[in-house]
Structure formats: structure tokens, C-alpha cells
Amino acid sequence: MLRAVYRWSIILGRIGLDVVGRLRNHGPHSAWICLQTHAINGSLRVRHRLGASHAVCCPCCGWEGPDFRSLDCGQFIVPHAECPHCGGHERHRLLHLFLTRRPPAFMTASGRILHFAPEQSVRAFIDANPSARCFSTDYAKGIYEKILSGVPKPVFISDLHHMPLVEGCIDGSFCLHVLEHVADDREAIRNLYRITAPGGEAVIMVPFMMDQAETEEYDAPDPELFDHVRGYSPVDFKERLAPFDYEEVMPTTFLTEEEVTRFRLPPSQVIYLCRK
């Protein structure tokens, strides 16, 4: 009993520090969002320990429980977002199912694959094809060393605006939640098109602000939004994919309604399979 009281006092103390820090640095609304998120996720933890029904399932790790954790995004909350076991978000769940059930052609062929801002969950699928050669890249040495601690080489450091690669040398690429961080996303997409081989494909995903009619460019990276430099609207994002041809893959494109609900995949999660 005393151990439980001590543990909860530590948890509540950390929550208090988080809320006070947000109030000091970002104002009362952000502090309220922080407190709400802690309350929602704390309730979820209690429900899971009390044996609540397994309403959701994470396809990445197999975890089952009453719901996924909510995600604190500073000025708003993303519900049903994060797996408590593996930390995967909605995009990771959708990508896992996509690569399992209908992988793009370059994933099962021999060739060169370029993986921007690499994530281990995607790299595991790439490594399952021994005939493919994967190049992982990021813009900062410290970032890729941290993320790629268990990922095999080769890797290199590069800015998406200025890729040190010859035209048409890449058969397939993954650019997942990267474009919202780059200064000129249109130039980045043109450069991605340049290095893609004829017939090659690029898998692109970005986070969407579903209530926006058009994409908003920020004056500076937003620290409460993971240093995003723009908020994408689903209405106009596709215009930025030129000169690629693309297929818009939504959760309902290849999953049943029951699966979409069980895996908690909202319509904001869209995979763009871009072809040259």
C-alpha cells in the first residue's frame, strides 16, 4: 500500500511539473491541454489494469487494450493515437498494415531504397528483402546516430533540398513525416522526383490539420508541434506532389470498416504512393 502511494505521488509530482512548465512557457491553454492529456492517459492506464475489454489492437506489436493513449500536441489533443506498449502512432499502424498487405513493387524487387529520417519499424520491412540495398539518410549527424543505433549501414548525412545523388538512381523511397520540417517542401519534392528512377516509387506521408482549408506556413518552427514549419491541409497538399503521379491510399482503401475501428485509423492518415 505504501509503495503504491509513493509511486502515485511521484507520478502526480511529474504531472504537476509538466503542467507548471507548460503554463510558464506556453500559457494557460497549453497547460490545460497538458493536464487533460495526463488525465485521459491516466484513466486509460487504470482501465487497462482493471481488465477493461480489449477494444483496440496495435498491428505493430500485437498489444490489445481498451484504447490507445492520447497525444499532447500543445494546443490540441490527438485522441486514440499512441500504443502504450511500442509507442507506435496512427501512421505507424497504417504503414505496418500497408507494407504487410499491399507493399509497393520496389519492396519485393532488387534495387536501391532511400529511407529519409529512418524509423526502425519501416527498416525492418526493408531488411526482409535481402536483394534490396537500403540507404538511410538524415540532415544531422546526431539525429541519425540516435535513431539508427541498431540500423545497419550504409547511411549518409544530407538535406532533402540538396541530395548528393545522381538523377534516377533510386528505385524506391520512404519520406514519412519529413516534409513538414523542411523550409521548401516543393523543392524537396522536385529533388525527390529527380533522384527517382523511371518507374520508381516514393511513399510519402505528412500530418494533416483536418480543419484547415489550405496549408499554413509558420513564421518559425513550432516547438509545440514538434518543430513543424507548416500545417498541411488535406485540401491542397496533393498539388505539391507534382510532377509525380500518385495514388491516394486511405485506411478504407484496403481495410474493412471493422479493422479501421479496431486499429484506430482516422481519415487524417493517408499514404501517397508516388510514381515517376
Cell 486509460 sits on residue: 44
User: Per DSSP, what are the bridge partners of residue 115?
Assistant: 136, 174
DSSP the chain: -HHHHHHHHHHHHHHHHHHHHHHHHH-HHHHHHHHHHHHHHHHHHHHHHTT----EE-TTT--EES-PEEEE-SSSEEEEEE-TTT---HHHHHHHHHHHHS--GGGSSSEEEEEES--HHHHHHHHT-TTEEEEEEES-HHHHHHHTTTPPSPEEE--TTS----TT-EEEEEEES-GGGSS-HHHHHHHHHHHEEEEEEEEEE--B-TT-SS-EEEEEEEGGGTTEEEEB-TTTGGGGGTTSEEEEE-HHHHS-HHHHHHTT--TT--EEEEE-
Q: What is the pLDDT of residue 64?
A: 96
- Per-residue model confidence as pLDDT tens for the chain (276 residues): 566 555 656 666 687 778 788 878 889 898 899 989 999 998 998 898 888 899 999 999 999 999 999 999 888 999 999 999 999 999 999 999 999 999 999 999 999 999 998 888 898 899 899 899 998 888 765 555 555 555 544 467 788 888 889 999 999 999 999 999 999 999 999 999 999 999 999 999 999 999 999 999 999 998 888 899 999 999 999 999 999 999 999 999 999 999 999 999 999 999 999 999
User: Per DSSP, what are the bridge partners of residue 174?
Assistant: 115, 203
CA dist 165 and 154 (Å) reads: 14
CA dist 177 and 121 (Å) reads: 14
**What domains sit in the chain, N to C, each tagged with a CATH number?**
2-88 (no CATH), 91-275 (3.40.50.150)
| Single pTM value for the model | 0.89
Residues 6+ apart with CB under 8 A from 242: 189
